[in-house]
Structure 1
């Protein structure tokens, strides 16, 4: 069948021009086979149990196979290719029976050789999200993959993607080397200011281990001035227990075993306390490869360490999952290790090339380009005089192209309107910090920016921008807040969340009822079937309680088998009354008396409920704790009356925060009626 007769052609990709341009820069098309890719296709064919496996790269009008197993053809027309369909998504694209799929049943690859019936492809994306091609497996028979096979194909695709990312990084490095080294004097001044005003500590250390230079940020971390630190041996500031490890790392980097390293260390402050830092150390060399000095970048991670301690339990669970996942990936660990080793060799080779080209005045430029920090120099007309490589990553462009461009044209009018007042303060000579900047709405990343006046001859002729990513810190703060107000088993609000809600609701002075519920017979089930079954029962109870009330009401778990329901607002066409609360309590008891399926057995429990009714606008002050205590005491009265019942606390208890006497309104539901 000719290609023109194919009804459903391969879809167009929205970023096709940029995608193909990147693919051509990588110099992969029409190149000889490489074992790095062939190893992956062989594994994919074996794992999926299919005769054909390909690493496919999609050009303008063709798909070309960088690696192929079980297929003679080197390329096919793009119009009939399956891979562009897979490249539209982010996960595995699977066609179990192409002959009966309306998208592919007239495709020449289905009706003719190689007679495709089954296809599964995982998109291969660049660092900027462009889909360059796929890792795919093909069969001439209808089939389905198991979940384990699907996961394995995803992992193998990750290996290929990592190799492509390395090629992309190498291409970017070569492109950087071709760029014009212009405005050296101005760049040196900008880099010097960046060194002194950076939001992270920076140190230049001689080969003898003595500090030749440090910026003010590093000196402030330790409680000294930069002048006081000059000439100190690094051993004076490091935790004595870590000196031996530090000396070993310095020896290894000096011998060329690796070009840089990153470690977490403890530094001793002037006041005797210790400070946790993340330190990255690189060895600068002369053009003839002789060691020159060490360059260290130090980040204060004390806050993160404190957060790590708060999340110890969560980390233990994550580590257990990692162990399980590692076991599943054991079959491909050797290949992954080789990929990582090849990546490290590529990175080391690129750094050696960079170090051979740069002079002493280029040292700071290289540091800023390798920092995970956005650094720029902006003049009084709000045009860029200097940007580091991170600018290009954040704004999806070549950082060198930003020179001379207006800030407003790069960040957009809406964001410029928010930033303009901060820029004006910096141009007036004020050091300004903005802790909540979003440069790219699509990425969702949050940055902390510092605007530092750029003074020359006593006049402010612009300002520096130093901005670093604080997204994970913001997410961690949000996660800790959420965990503090949620019961981890049932995912219901916990006691802290309940008390906050009661206090807020009572401030509105609207009618409200609090139902304090304790399960009858739970301990017997817990002892008989074990705590895991008991946990399943508690989650089933939570689901049934939520189904028994309105979505505007609150269901919370205090502890053990104790739950609290908060009814408020209006019920139907009238305000909530005590009678309404008793009606809800009766319906809850009936609902909980139905058997529960806990997996190994069906079990039954009862419920004793105490009701505390808050009418709103009381004659005497009422606290949330008092209303809850009244409901608790009423619940114990219901238990004493024979369990599986409810009792309503009288008004005196609610208004006085403590019980005076209980009423006689008790509903007991016999098990036969429930």
Structure 2
């Protein structure tokens, strides 16, 4: 790992970010400034592009550019640096922080090390030149060590607080993940090998992942819990089945807690894993036994419930249990059981409305939410309840109500809502493209909405193109994931609009090769599946949709890891998006073809068709853009000597061949930076830029020789040929007047022809 990467990794590990200055360090650095008699004292951190501060005294700016930072030199050198007078130090005399605010004249800094990695500096700054004694520099070194220890303690304290929050639930195997564009296991307790037989060393070094030991069904539950954390759910608890390497099977309770940044972004997930095998076995046996003894459902179509708050027990009828596939005899009467069935995304809403009713803010408790069915799917229920008993002081004692299964209605409503949302972001994509003419940007703008409406974790939109004659899939938009250095390079290619997929011998490639929908809820069993790159999150469901235009495949949409199974209805639902993208792809191809044709026409308008040289129009356009230079430039007009008499006995084809040969000799004799153009039948123009007149004279003399040195062959007979040149040197002090200077060069050409031809005359 490079020094930059190592430093940034440590900065991220310690959670150091701009605008998070430490009050304790602020007071300490004020004391340092007072002690050393300087106006400015800083604790700086060198990020990827910016320098920011954990403490700053006497400096208004909260960040500076890294390339301007004195402290970046300290970090790069990993040793103390003292600059007694910046004006006399060539490294810093032109630095913007010296020539401008805050006008640094003196600097002294020592490295700030965390985990033996220099991440910044502890420094003092003065506005006047000065010296720093050896003892004062030693004080700075000692101070830097203390600040490093302080930051380490702050980090350990934060970690301890997080661990304590999780340990309150139940002590067991502890796992910690860090979220950086994907989950990375950063800690696992060693007892995982003793309790569950999982290899601690392989997990700790990230050669294996915890989820590699989950059954397929439990992997779905595990990913569902992680996706809910990513959506903002703080706590989750699920039952998972582990398969140890030696064949043992464990049912575990997976209790996870998510921690978020101040901006609400997921940072870490901590989890406790406890052995729940015996309880699970008993629950399963009891469920299987009692399901055989179930009687007919209650005649009522409503599920009823009666909750006694003081004892936290509730009674329900058989219909209530039947809605959720539960055995009436095994119903758990505690509120925790009911709350545990609520969809994580609905829990806050239900709790808020329940508390509003219990506190008297609402007349009834009425809401719709999802409950987990015993078979694993979700049931929409509409609940209506009311406090039916209160204590003398108004405290609610008893709450009763009904449940109605409204799954069909809610799913129809959600389908209608999704349909409107789909049409909305189709229109959004079309509008974005029409405004900016950037198809990739338009696709990227709608990608988050695509993953949301498809209830999926990952998605991409690809556009078929031919590159070097080979079919390749240009990725217009994709869920960005980076799990190692190689994948980071792919992300960079994608951000630059240059990410292509050219191997189609895999699951998504089946969409390309067959032009058919590919739907797989168990990709590991699909014959085309090749797995995922090492470290890539596992794909446990996949849906690929071809984008067709006039019965030809022009691209595809791929989505993966839906919470529930993909169905043909999902493919049918997204078909309008495929159709809209096909139209956008066609518009892009038409625009590219039109631009290519316009460019070709523009090229033809500026090119002489016989010689391939620029024509008069192109020469004039180029000369009109000339910029002043210290050396001036030369305009020369070249004419083939005696052309009318030479061309008279020749047919048109031969005459054109002679002209082409002369043009090639001239082109070969000039430099790449010179501009040679054909003005008329036998007349050429030459522009020599950034060339002194003596050198220009040599070049033009060489041009005469290049044409006349070897005769042309016609009908097996040599044909002597030469040119005359009239030249005008335009000095740097002269105003640009192309018409005037070309006329003067033409006058010099006439003189050359009058002097016997085959010569150079300067105006």
| TM-score of the pair, normalised by structure 2 | 0.28
User: Structure with the greater relative contact order (CA < 8 A, sep ≥ 6): 1 or 2?
Assistant: 1
